[in-house]
Amino acid sequence: MKKRLYIELENCIGCRSCLAACTQCGGHEERNRNYVYDVNPLVNRQTMPLMCLHCVNPACARSCPAQAIQVHETGAVLSALVEKCIGCQNCTIACPYGIPKFDTEQNLMYKCDLCIDRTKDGIPPMCASVCPTNTLQWLTDEEIANRKKQFNMDNGKWISSMPYLEGETNVKVNLPGILQGITKLF
């Protein structure tokens, strides 16, 4: 059963477990590849994670002159192949969400690969495995559809893609109702 990373943004409490877990994934060389942001840092403590969304038509891969960024058959957009990346940094400029990181010393780009060694076998990625608040979850399409119904929002805003994202993505994001002044029914 194909599962996806599903993000319920407003559950995030800013513990950064996902970042710590990311460093521990095979192939990540102990460097994390994601982000956690304060939404309104001077006013409250709401945070949100920002992950690679594994675009269906990934701008990072389209802009890479070396074809170093491959798309896995599961739809995961992989990190740069170590022998191919020539260090131009086009991908960092192209990604609409600013995800790829670049190591100048190693002349190498690295980004979220959705823990491909795990997810290719159906094991959830590290971030979703450790998230204590169910912000990051590993779900089937059916479960995601149920989630959508359960929230009982018939304004079509819950599972966000366009216009909140720049294109179709393999990771599904759930828009934060609280911050939009909409009550979410658990």
Partner 1 sequence: MQTKTVNNQKHQRSINNAFASHFAKSMFLAVSGLAILTFIGTRMFTHVDLNLYGYMVGTIIFLGGFFYRFISWGERPPTKLLIKKGMKLLFRKSTPKTTVNHLAVYEFIWNRGIYRWTQHILIGWGCILACLVTFPLVFGWMYFTMDDTGYYNIILMGMEIMTVPADGIIANLSYNALNITALMVIAGVSMALYRRIKNMQARAEQTILYDFLPLYMLLLISITGLALTFMNVFLHGVGQPIMSLIHQWSVIITLIYLPFGKLAHIPFRPLSIFARNYREHYAEQSMKKCNVCGNEFVSDEQSKDVVAVLGINQIEFQTKEGHHLAELCLPCRRKYRIAQFSGFPTHDVKVKEANQNAKG
Q: Among 54, 51, 55, 49, which Cα is nearest to 36's?
A: 49
Footprint of partner 1 (CB under 8 A)? 9, 16-17, 19-30, 32, 35-42, 46, 48, 50, 57, 59, 62-67, 78, 82-84, 86-90, 92-99, 103, 105-108, 113, 116-117, 160, 164-167, 173, 175-176, 179-180
CB of 83 to ligand HEM, least distance (A): 4
Least distance in angstroms from the C-beta of 30 to partner 1: 6
Residue 57's Cβ-side half-sphere holds a number of Cα atoms within 13 Å equal to 4
Query: Which helix (H) or strand (E) segment is 84 a member of?
Result: none
The answer to whether 10 and 177 have CB atoms below 8 angstroms apart is yes
> Which residues of the chain form contacts with ligand HEM (CB under 6 A)?
82-83
Whether omega for the bond prior to residue 163 falls within 30 degrees of 0, making it cis, is yes
CA distance 117 to 129: 14
Which of residues 126 and 139 has its CB atom nearest to partner 1 in the complex? 126
Question: Cβ closer to partner 1: 121 or 142?
Answer: 121
Nearer to ligand HEM, 83 or 154 (CB): 83
List all residues 6 or more positions away from 1 whose beta carbon is below 8 Å from its beta carbon. 122, 140
Which amino acid would we find at residue 18?
Answer: C
- Return the number of the residue (28 or 184) whose C-beta is nearest ligand HEM: 28
Find which of partner 1, ligand HEM, ligand SF4, none residue 124 binds, CB within 5 to 8 Å per kind: none
| Nearest by Cα to 3 from 111, 112, 125 | 125
Q: Taking the complex as a whole, how short is the minimal distance between the CB of residue 155 and ligand HEM, in angstroms?
A: 49
